């Protein structure tokens, strides 16, 4: 038995049974370590030793959560929500398919798309924007699974396709690891190769919007009271709030540090007097609590990944899969995509999956006669698979953090399962077809 498959299956089954994701990751690590031949003590030591790798990202999310709460206190999000409410009332509160619903979907989709490339704040906008509009979603009876799919699409498609912001990091890792494996590629080839797989994601988004979740769904109003329409925000606050957002971007982009960007944004808000110094501690604590779940899952996921690597069964999984393929080129492509799905579902990071699979997939793909463009498709798609749908991925944890602010959105059944079905399946189909056509 392969420890990677057993560990990932154990983690997913426990998560589907509504066991806390952090506990599921710990249990999956212990099971994977046992199957992989590690002693209990060695498994625990490896797991705890890997936790530190997630500390940076956990701190980043905590500070981004604090920054999001600080922004929310300036009144800017409330202005947007009030505008949505006014538009919704013009359409009529009983109209679930009117302009108000379209506007909400478009705004959230646009913000998610921009968060990866143009304004690289990643998931920080979700706790800033989503909780205040839960009342709007409730009144319009919008299925929150639809919003989860919209947000996850915006958090994944841009970095896979576009070489800007987080997309540049993804493309750079992909090119560097393929080059290290013996196949030099040009960064400009990656967007061309990944365009069709991303089209698969778009097809999944359309299915979610127009078929799966178009019907109304009832939710209770729990602490999401309607905002008044007469809300006024001082021009000074608007100006310095925008300045804090721009400052965050200006620091984060060159440093590639979400921590530095978040600290810069928070500092601008307090130095300019938009928020009072005496509020700093309580606001940051509130924001950190809001994002604590995301941080703990990411830390645990790094421990989980360390155990899987320690067993050596990731390499065994790839090698055993290739040994069964014979000379079946189409089956080889399909198996490589499935291996990528399993690995990414387990560790929750497409960025971290590339170094794991590239060293084996490059020579294997060359042996089967795939072209360089087809190999880019296979490795890029295999890495991206599982990012949508993984319980440990920030692309699913982020939407849940916002949509579950009132306790009515389950991480596994309302975010992970819908996004897995609507994105991973079409991504496999479009990635496989593209690799075979251009291969």
* φ/ψ (deg, to 5) at 360: -95, -40
**Contact call for residues 87 and 247 (beta carbons, < 8 A):** no
Instruction: Return the sign of the alpha-carbon dihedral for residues 326, 328, 334, 340.
Output: positive
The pLDDT score that the predictor gives to residue 218 is: 92
The answer to whether residues 112 and 153 touch, using CB atoms and an 8 Å cutoff, is yes
pLDDT digits (tens, 9 = 90+) for 273-309: 887 777 777 777 777 776 676 677 768 877 887 888 8
Whether residue 161 has pLDDT greater than 90: yes
Q: What pLDDT, on the 0 to 100 scale, is given for residue 256?
A: 67
User: What pLDDT sits at residue 143?
Assistant: 95
Confidence of residue 7 (pLDDT cuts 50, 70, 90): confident
pLDDT of 435 reads 94
Question: Does residue 88 surpass a pLDDT of 80?
Answer: no
The domain spans of the chain are 3-215+288-438
Dist. CA 294–CA 283, nearest whole Å:
18
- Give residue 235's pLDDT: 75
Report how far residue 174's alpha carbon sits from residue 185's, in angstroms, rounded to the nearest whole number.
Answer: 9
Q: What is the CA radius of gyration of the chain?
A: 22
Q: What is the pLDDT of residues 255-283, one digit of tens each?
A: 767 788 888 888 888 888 887 777 777 77
DSSP 376-431: HHHHHHHHHTTTTT-TT-HHHHHHHHHHTTTS---IIIIIIHHHIIIIIHHHHHHH
Q: Give the pLDDT confidence of 236-251 residue by residue, as tens digits.
A: 777 888 888 788 778 8
Tell me: pLDDT of 363 over 60.
yes
How far is the C-alpha of 71 from the C-alpha of 78, rounded, in Å? 10
Task: Tell me: pLDDT of 404 over 60.
Answer: yes
Q: Give CA–CA dist 215/207, Å, rounded.
A: 13
Of the candidates 170, 148, 176, 197, the residue with the CA atom closest to the CA atom of residue 388: 148
Do residues 439 and 371 lie in contact, with contact meaning Cβ atoms separated by under 8 Å?
Answer: yes
Phi, psi for residue 27 in degrees, rounded to 5: -65, -40
Res 415: pLDDT: 95
More confident residue, 237 or 94: 237
**Predicted confidence band of residue 4 (pLDDT cuts 50, 70, 90):** confident
Rounded to whole angstroms, the Cα distance separating 387 from 341 reads 8
pLDDT of 48 over the 60 cut: yes
Residues 6 or more apart whose CB falls under 8 angstroms from that of 165 comprise 116, 117, 118, 120, 158, 159, 253
Angle at 76 between CA 71 and CA 77, to 5 degrees: 85
């Amino acid at each position: 038995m392969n420890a990677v498959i057993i560990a990932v299956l154990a983690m997913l089954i426990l998560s589907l049974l509504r066991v806390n994701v952090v506990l599921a990751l710990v249990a999956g690590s212990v099971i994977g370590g046992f199957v992989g031949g590690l002693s209990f003590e060695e498994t625990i030591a490896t797991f705890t030793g890997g936790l530190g790798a997630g500390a940076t990202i956990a701190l980043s999310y905590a500070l981004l959560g604090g920054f999001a709460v600080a922004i929310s206190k300036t009144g800017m999000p409330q202005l947007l929500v009030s505008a949505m409410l006014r538009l919704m009332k013009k359409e009529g509160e009983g109209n679930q398919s009117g302009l108000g619903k379209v506007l909400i979907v478009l705004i959230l989709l646009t913000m998610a798309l921009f968060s990866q490339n143009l304004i690289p704040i990643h998931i920080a906008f979700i706790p800033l924007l989503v909780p205040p509009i839960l009342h709007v979603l409730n009144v319009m009876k919008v299925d929150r699974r639809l919003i989860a799919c919209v947000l996850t699409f915006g958090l994944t498609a841009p970095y896979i396709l576009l070489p800007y912001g987080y997309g540049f990091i993804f493309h750079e890792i992909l090119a560097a690891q393929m080059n290290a494996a013996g196949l030099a590629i040009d960064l400009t080839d990656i967007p061309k190769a990944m365009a069709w797989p991303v089209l698969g994601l778009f097809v999944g988004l359309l299915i979610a919007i127009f078929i799966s979740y178009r019907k109304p769904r009832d939710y209770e109003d729990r602490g999401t009271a309607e905002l008044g329409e007469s809300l006024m925000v001082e021009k000074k606050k608007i100006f310095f709030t925008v300045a804090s957002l721009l400052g965050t971007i200006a620091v984060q982009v060159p440093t590639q540090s979400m921590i530095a960007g978040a600290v810069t944004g928070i500092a601008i808000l307090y130095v300019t007097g938009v928020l009072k110094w005496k509020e700093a501690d309580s606001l940051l604590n509130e924001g950190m609590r809001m994002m604590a779940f995301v941080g703990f899952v990411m830390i645990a996921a790094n421990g989980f990944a360390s155990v899987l690597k320690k067993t050596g069964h990731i390499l065994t999984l790839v090698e055993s899969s290739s040994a069964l393929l014979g000379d079946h080129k189409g089956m080889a492509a399909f198996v490589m995509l499935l291996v990528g799905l399993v690995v990414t579902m387990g560790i929750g990071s497409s960025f971290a999956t590339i170094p794991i699979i590239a060293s084996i997939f490059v020579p294997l793909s060359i042996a089967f006669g795939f072209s360089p463009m087809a190999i880019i498709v296979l490795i890029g798609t295999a890495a991206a698979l599982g990012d949508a749908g993984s319980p440990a991925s920030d692309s699913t944890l982020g939407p849940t953090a916002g949509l579950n602010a009132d306790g009515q959105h389950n991480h596994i059944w309302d975010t992970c399962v819908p996004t897995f079905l609507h994105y991973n399946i079409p991504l496999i189909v479009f990635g496989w077809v593209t690799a075979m056509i251009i291969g």
